[in-house]
Amino acid sequence: MALVVQKYGGSSVANAERVKRVAERIVEAKKNGDDVVVVVSAMGDTTDELLDQASQITADPPGRELDMLLTAGERISMALLAIAISTHGYEARSFTGSQAGVITTSSHGKARIIDVTPGRLRDALDDGSIVIVAGFQGVSQDTKDVTTLGRGGSDTTAVAVAAALRADVCEIYTDVDGVFTADPRIVPNAKRLETITYEEMLELAASGAKVLMLRCVEYARRYGIPVHVRSSYSQLPGTIVAGSMEDLTVEQAIITGVAHDRSEGKITVSGVPDRPGEAAQIFRVLADAEVNIDMIVQNVSTEAKLTDISFTLPVSDGPTAIAALERVKHTVGYTGVSFDQHIGKVSLVGAGMRSHPGVSAKFFGALADAGVNLELISTSEIRISVVCRDTDVDLAVRAVHDAFDLGSDAAEAVVYGGTGR
Amino acid sequence: MALVVQKYGGSSVANAERVKRVAERIVEAKKNGDDVVVVVSAMGDTTDELLDQASQITADPPGRELDMLLTAGERISMALLAIAISTHGYEARSFTGSQAGVITTSSHGKARIIDVTPGRLRDALDDGSIVIVAGFQGVSQDTKDVTTLGRGGSDTTAVAVAAALRADVCEIYTDVDGVFTADPRIVPNAKRLETITYEEMLELAASGAKVLMLRCVEYARRYGIPVHVRSSYSQLPGTIVAGSMEDLTVEQAIITGVAHDRSEGKITVSGVPDRPGEAAQIFRVLADAEVNIDMIVQNVSTEAKLTDISFTLPVSDGPTAIAALERVKHTVGYTGVSFDQHIGKVSLVGAGMRSHPGVSAKFFGALADAGVNLELISTSEIRISVVCRDTDVDLAVRAVHDAFDLGSDAAEAVVYGGTGR
């Protein structure tokens, strides 16, 4: 008998019909003799609808109350799911983040899980119940207030609950059939990966692959919880995220896949005096404003001892970053700031590239042959990323995917629409 | 500086505009220097919409999960209200029933408040915050599960919180201007009562007056909390429920008002053997089925030593009662059961009727003159109730109201629609 944690996203429980179908799937696992814990997101558009209600009152709601509002979403979906399970003659008990012992920081809207104390979940499992836990939410350690983890937090809840209960596996049900060598909507013959290491998945997630959130993979890696990514609409085998790069055999593929990201923008600060500490001052003020910086490039200095600094960041952080930079314009003494929202990022990820020279050459060759102009480049041990025009992203992804021969013979992926949460 | 508990019903916070208006009213009280605790119901039709979602899955949801579902309603309204208050520069903190320390029995859907431990509310007040509490919900003492108090429970929450915090007054904001001598929709010149004793209000509530729920008045009486019923749409003075009949002066009006109730049905069990214990057996089985019986009449026995027993009950309890009676048909040996959903109840309430003979005569005379046929009669020390056809209710209310000269010279009441919760 295994202990299985299953996570269903908002699109999997978007309406009564889907809730019933998910309930059947859960009951099936229970019938197989497993103990089942289910983590569920808010139904479909509920979160957006609640945000809309708040925005009818003010554009700037207090974080504590916004979290109180948003957590109504999972409360509804988890109760309906428990009700649907009950129609099969099985008992299901739903628990809020607070009841489930999901202890977080007090940073409303983007709290981080500190610990999970699953006493009530364990008791319910011992009673033979199927356990349902609200994703995306917790209770702050300091203030005992309700918190949310931010979008995508339900995946992290699932892995954290799995770790606390020492579950055998954490199954993430989503609207794709697993992790692919590229987005099947761009590359029709993209291949499903049977397994992928935590490190590779981390790089893919950081590079824009939406199938799993970065924090969730980090958590799974830290506690060694195998994560099984599967479709909630099919019985296909999906992808297992587990194991470390050190365990990889030489037969393993060199390249894992190609990821892309259209959610970032690029800010260029021009005419920055080329003195020690200027760049530090710029990134200090951005950090204080809680802006998440991704890639950074500093150009070589001009004859006038001035330089340009470019960096990428989530488009939504753009206005905050610009405002923060304006505040230090005179102390830094730069001449201008520009914000470019029309960039895209394309990344190649693969644990094998560490020991295989020539990967970079082939990657840049493929992009050059496709006529893609590169604006920024950054690399890690197992990843190469470039920034290009957003209109070139599809072209670049296909060119790289073809160059490394990552596709399968037949189109395998079915895209169900939506990107999950 | 007073401590004021204000309660707003679902229609008072039905949309963003109304939430903003209620927020202004709350901020006004805070500006007056009072400490303010607000109890709020779910917005408008939210509860019905949630019930509808559950009914799309099953007609028979488990109580624990239904309560989990329904409590999302107040979570939304209280968070939005706190957000609206924040736009005025005041801090408001919302608390679920569980966070507010509303401890209840574990009877899902109709839990009763056992105690309120308002430590977190007191702390928030001490910090200068306006406190918002979710009405209608609590946490069970035994299982720590979320419970609901049943419809109208928000009034009881307000009074219970007021008692626990030793508030100076509990203001119930509703969609009528106060307690009237009759329903102004039936009697246009019905008069608003400035004050009314707990006992009279209890009898009115038990007789169908919807302005306050019975349990709420019982709670207020037990703890001596003055309840101020006011309109959330006007600045009119409303009605204060306080004081006991013993405090009434002789100048006090003899009659308080006329109440009516169309929510009950009548069950008649016919051909019951007239032996000791038969009636007891019937009402035992109904009590076991948790059917709420109101009025009971047993006819005199026929020559065949058979009798008929009639009783009234909420129409919604009808099917349960019929099923329970069918189970004991053979042991009791009655011949038939009929269920009449087309009855109405009209009641005259007044503390003064104890010491004024002739009230009954005038009451029955007025009904006879109006041609209203009476089916059942019951009385208490300060109330006379009759059951008639539901189509005769308006006629009966007007006749009695006129006979006791309860009206004011000019129509005073404004009816805003809806009946509140």
SS3 per residue for A268-296: EEEEEECCCCHHHHHHHHHHHCCCCCCCE
Give me the torsion for CA of A322, A315, A227, A103, rounded to 10°. 50
pLDDT band at A251 (very low <50, low <70, confident <90, very high): low
Percentage with pLDDT > 90 across chain A: 73
Contact A93 B61 (CB under 8 A): no
Domains and their CATH numbers in chain B:
3-175 (3.40.1160.10), 245-407 (3.30.2130.10)
**Taking the mean position of all CA atoms in its chain, how far away is CA A359?**
26
pLDDT of residue B378: 87
Chain A residues with CB inside 8 Å of B133's CB?
none
Dump pLDDT digits (tens) for B74-116.
999 999 999 999 999 999 999 999 999 999 999 999 899 999 9
Residue with tokens 């009763």: B112
Dump pLDDT digits (tens) for A376-418.
898 888 999 999 999 999 999 999 999 999 998 755 554 443 3
Is B421's pLDDT higher than 60? Answer: no
pLDDT band at B248 (very low <50, low <70, confident <90, very high): low
Is A185's pLDDT higher than 60? Answer: yes
Is B419's pLDDT higher than 90? Answer: no
Contact B92 A65 (CB under 8 A): yes
pLDDT of residue B249: 61
Is A92's pLDDT higher than 80? Answer: yes
Q: What is the 3-state secondary structure (H, E, C) of B293-310?
A: CCCEEECCCCCCCEEEEE
Is B35's pLDDT higher than 80? Answer: yes
> For B18, which residue in chain A has the nearest alpha carbon?
A57
Is B414's pLDDT higher than 70? Answer: no
Can you give the pTM of this predicted structure?
0.84
pLDDT of residue A250: 55
pLDDT of residue A333: 86
Listed range (A51-65, A398-412, B58-72) with the worst mean pLDDT: A398-412
pLDDT of residue B175: 84
- On whether B18 is known to bind a ligand per the annotation, the reply is no
> For B72, which residue in chain A has the nearest alpha carbon?
A72
Please, which residues bridge with residue A240 across strands? A195, A228
Q: How many CB pairs under 8 A join A and B?
A: 106
Is B242's pLDDT higher than 70? Answer: yes
How far is the alpha carbon of B35 from chain A, nearest alpha carbon, in Å?
20
How far is the alpha carbon of B69 from chain A, nearest alpha carbon, in Å?
5
Contact B83 A65 (CB under 8 A): yes
Test the B interface: residue of A40, A50, A75 with most B CBs within 10 Å:
A75
User: Going edge to edge, which strands form the sheet with A343-349?
Assistant: A257-261, A343-349, A383-389, A376-380
Listed range (A312-321, A324-333, A407-416, B11-20) with the worst mean pLDDT: A407-416
SS3 B279: helix
pLDDT of residue A412: 53
Chain B residues with CB inside 8 Å of A94's CB?
65, 68
SS3 B60: coil
Contact A86 B62 (CB under 8 A): yes
Could you count the other beta carbons within 10 Å of the beta carbon of residue B164? 22
φ, ψ of residue A237 in degrees (nearest 5): -70, -20
Dump pLDDT digits (tens) for B117-173.
999 999 999 999 999 999 999 999 999 999 999 767 999 999 999 999 999 999 999
pLDDT of residue B92: 98
ipTM of the predicted assembly exceeds 0.95 = no
Q: Nearest Cα to B399, choosing from B374, B375, B376, B365?
A: B365
Dump pLDDT digits (tens) for A337-375.
999 999 999 999 998 887 777 899 999 999 999 999 998
